[in-house]
Structure formats: C-alpha cells, structure tokens
C-alpha cells in the first residue's frame, strides 16, 4: 500500500521513542488515544545500552580493583578469575532484558487499552503525519500532539565506518561473548573512560587513542589533568592520536594504523567518540519541523516551531543526560495537560558524573568559565587525604574543588574526583539549587565525623571571602 493511498489513523498523542518519553502516559491520559513508536528495545539508551547496564559493569570492575589493591590495607587477596559470561548474564538476562520486555508487554497489554504500540521506524510524510507500522505492516498515523523523544546514537569516525573493520560501540560492547585480552578505545570522553575502567579492571589490556591532549575536555582543568595523570598509570594512553586506517585480521583481531605511524593489533576495537541526536533520521522537514544544528529546535517549554510538536531528551536537549531527559519529560507532560500554564524545561544546576575509577562528578561552572563570565572568584581544592576517612581509604588522589563568588557567597561550580564523587556532589547541588550562602553551608549543619563528607565541609570552610 502506498503512502498516498494508505488510510491515516489519528491519535490524540503520538510519542516517538520509549526512553523517557514512555513515562508520559499515566492515568491523566487515560481518556486520550495514544500511539507509542519504538523500533528498538523498550526503555531507550539508558536502560538497554547506557547508564544502567554500564554501571552494573562498573560495580563489578570496582570490586575487582579493590581486590587488586587490597594489599595497601594489609590484606592478602587475589583475583582468581573473571567469569565474563556470568557478568553478561547478571546484567542482561537477569535484569535488563526482562525489564525492557516487561515494559513493552505492559504497553501492549490490557493495562493500557488506549495505547497502540508500533515497532517500525517513524518517518514524517506530511504535516504531523508519520509513516510507521507493526510487524512489517505499514501504517500512516497522525497526531494532535506529537512528542519526539528518539534520543541519540554513537558517532563513528568516517575512516572507521568506511574501512569495513569490525568495531563496537556502547550499543554492543557489553554483550561480547568473551572478554577480550586486548582492546583499543577510540575517544577520551565519559564513555571511553568508563569502559576503559571496566575492561582494564577485569583483566583486558586497554589502549586509549585520544585526538586531543586532554581527557574529558569539558571538565575543569584540574580534574582533567588529574584524570590524565592517573589514566597514564593504568592504560596505554596515546594523546593527539587518531585512526588513519583499520582492517580485520584472519585471526579475528583488528589492525589499526594511527596518524603517528604506529600499528596496533587489539582483539577488539571500541569506538567512543561521542553521540549525535537522532532528529536527522525522521524526515522532519516533511512536517516543517526545524532543526538547530543536529538537534530538534525547541523553545524554553519544549515546543518545536510546529504547533503541537514537542521534543525532549538527547534529540533536542543541551544536556545528554538521563536525569535531564526525565525532568524534561515531566515538564512536557505538564505542558500537554496544562497548556494554559506552561512550565519551562528545567536546565538549572545540572550535574553529571563519570563512573570511571576514581569517579568524577561536576555541577556548575569550571574555574575557566567562571573567570570568563567575569566573576570575582574564590577557589578551594580539598584533598581526600586531608580527612580521616581519606586516611582510612589510603586515598592520595581524590579532591574536591569549589569555585564561589566572593561578593554573593554563592557556589558557582563544584568538581570532585575520587571515591563516591557522584554521591558527594549531591549536597553541593542542594546548596546551589536552593541558593544557600556558602559561608553558612558548612557551619549551620552537622557533618558526621569521620565520614567522607567532611572533605566537602572542609572545602567549604576553606573558601576565602
């Protein structure tokens, strides 16, 4: 059946993507006809190939690393082996896959009778009109409201994509049948650093090829420098290095030629060079929906330029973070229900964390950004080794860095590298989000002694005004 002659089925609401978008329909939408389109696994990137499974691997790697380093606590321990297939099963067969399958079954089942699920690719063919389908049977649908929440996908350098070489991304590296003995990771961002920690701690020899002189280029300079220092002790880190050519070998390994003239032959090549929004894959122009560079263009309320078309998450957001996508989803859900009282997208004091080892967490401005913005700043770096719990951990590498405005007493940025950084940062997010004066934050509450948060307390006390 051609697109021109296919009957159009109309819905009150169409949601494209089942990451954060799948959380929109609740009891408030029971009186609306809804179509959900998902060509992949329910749950989106975070559940299936991102945040959640990667952290399950990270935790296993953290345990392995503690065993390797047990001698510094006077403990004679050894890692006797890693059962990689068991780790894969723990993550996917026991946890992730049943959740994804259950989510889809719920949306297809009697619990949500007002929702139809389509499993074919969504492509606009006219004004607020989409071509999709179920099990190979095409269907044209239209919507009064449409929410685009299709996320992002890995970027693959053209030289690798065109080479025919066997490579992996975050979307399939965790389902390897066997753990590789050696791996080359192309990239130096958060995905690269998390997988470097996972595979190296579990016994894989890791080489990192990074095109610049910095790892985590968006991080504060002191954090990035410490990460590089520590990474060079664990991995084979090659800076200012790119892939010039790559090919498959008969033994299953790959050969990589770099711009520096070096040849590397790892078992596995992992590409972790960033992510690109999926807005370009849906023929948005057919509905007149505008793009802003690679993202779907939206206003402060999540509205595109076409009335009734909204976007949220990686496909449109300035932040490629699940907690931001969830918050944007809540704003869009409110705006769908209350068009007379629109809520802006929540983009203030957005934190992020990198679950490498040691962990890294940040919120607000870097020191360089604060200076560039014209703030009169005070800066304090507090080492984990300065507090009692840091002594207990024998931590000589971790630190908290705070940047505050001298006039207002407000924290402008907080940056942590060290154990449990993603947890320690939370109290600093609270201080920033609620506008608490930094000069009172440390003194008007108790800090449990000798717990690790004392490093944050001391950092606050160390700011000079």
Largest CA distance in the chain: 76
Of 306, 349, 321, whose CA–CA distance to 151 is shortest?
Answer: 321
Cβ–Cβ under 8 Å, residues 202 and 167: no
Of 257, 44, 247, 1, whose CA–CA distance to 152 is shortest?
Answer: 44
For the chain, give the number of residues.
465
Cβ–Cβ under 8 Å, residues 397 and 386: no
Q: How many CB atoms lie within 10 A of CB 308?
A: 17
Distance between CA atoms of 94 and 398, rounded to whole angstroms? Answer: 34
Q: What are phi and psi of 9, to 5 degrees?
A: -100, 125
Structure tokens at 298: 């939206």
Q: Which residues pair with 436 in a beta bridge?
A: none
∠ at Cα 383 (378, 384), nearest 5°? Answer: 140
Distance between CA atoms of 17 and 9, rounded to whole angstroms? Answer: 19
Question: Which residues neighbour 330 within 8 Å (Cβ) at sequence distance 6 or greater?
Answer: 346
Structure tokens at 438: 């930094």
Can 449 be counted among the known catalytic residues?
Answer: yes
Cβ–Cβ under 8 Å, residues 199 and 168: no
∠ at Cα 403 (401, 405), nearest 5°? Answer: 160
Which one of the listed residues 10, 127, 338, 449 is annotated catalytic?
Answer: 449
DSSP string, 153-208: EE---HHHHTTT---B-TTTGGG-SS--SEEEEE--SHHHHHHHHHHHHTT-EEEE
Distance between CA atoms of 25 and 28, rounded to whole angstroms? Answer: 7
Structure tokens at 390: 């840091």
Q: Using only the alpha carbons of the chain, give its radius of gyration.
A: 24
DSSP string, 296-325: EP--TTSB-SSTTEEE-GGGT-S---HHHH
Cβ–Cβ under 8 Å, residues 377 and 406: yes
Which residues does the annotation mark as catalytic?
449
């Amino acid at each position: 059946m051609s697109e021109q002659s296919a009957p159009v089925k109309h819905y009150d609401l169409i949601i494209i993507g089942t990451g954060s978008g799948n959380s929109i329909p609740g009891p408030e939408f029971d009186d609306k006809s809804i179509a959900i389109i998902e060509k992949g696994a329910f749950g989106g990137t975070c559940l299936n190939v991102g945040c959640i499974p990667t952290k399950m691997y990270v935790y296993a790697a953290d345990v392995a690393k503690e065993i390797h380093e047990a001698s510094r606590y006077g403990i004679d321990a050894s890692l006797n082996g890693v059962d990689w297939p068991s780790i894969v099963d723990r993550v996917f067969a026991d946890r992730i896959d049943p959740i994804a399958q259950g989510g889809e079954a719920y949306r297809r089942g009697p619990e949500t009778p007002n929702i139809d699920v389509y499993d074919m690719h969504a492509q606009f063919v006219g004004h607020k009109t989409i071509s999709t389908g179920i099990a190979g049977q095409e269907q044209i649908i239209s919507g009064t409201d449409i929410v685009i929440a299709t996320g992002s996908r890995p970027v693959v350098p053209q030289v690798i994509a065109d080479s025919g070489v066997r490579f992996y991304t975050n979307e399939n590296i965790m389902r390897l049948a066997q753990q590789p003995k050696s791996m080359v990771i192309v990239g130096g961002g958060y995905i690269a650093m998390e997988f470097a920690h996972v595979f190296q701690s579990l016994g894989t020899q890791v080489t990192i090829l990074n095109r610049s002189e910095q790892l985590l280029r968006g991080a504060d300079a002191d954090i990035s420098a410490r990460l590089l220092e520590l990474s060079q002790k664990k991995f084979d880190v090659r800076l200012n290095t790119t892939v010039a050519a790559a090919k498959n070998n008969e033994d299953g390994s790959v050969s990589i030629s770099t711009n520096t003239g070096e040849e590397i032959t790892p078992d596995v090549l992992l590409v972790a060079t960033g992510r690109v929004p999926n807005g370009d894959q849906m023929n948005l122009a057919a509905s007149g929906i505008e793009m802003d560079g690679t993202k779907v263009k939206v206003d402060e309320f999540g509205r595109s330029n076409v009335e009734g078309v909204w976007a949220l998450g990686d496909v449109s957001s300035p932040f490629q973070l699940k907690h931001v996508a969830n918050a944007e989803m809540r704003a869009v859900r409110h705006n769908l229900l209350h068009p007379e009282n629109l809520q802006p997208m929540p983009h203030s004091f957005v934190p992020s964390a990198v679950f490498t080892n040691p962990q890294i967490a940040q919120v607000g401005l870097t020191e360089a950004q604060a200076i560039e913005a014209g703030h009169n700043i005070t800066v304090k770096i507090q080492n984990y080794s300065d507090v009692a719990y840091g002594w207990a951990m024998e931590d000589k590498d971790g630190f908290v860095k705070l940047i505050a405005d001298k006039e207002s007493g407000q924290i402008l940025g907080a940056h942590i590298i060290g154990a449990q950084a993603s947890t320690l940062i939370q109290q600093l997010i609270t201080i920033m989000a609620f506008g608490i004066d930094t000069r009172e934050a440390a003194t008007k509450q108790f800090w449990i002694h000798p717990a690790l948060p004392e490093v944050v307390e001391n950092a606050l006390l160390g700011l000079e005004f």
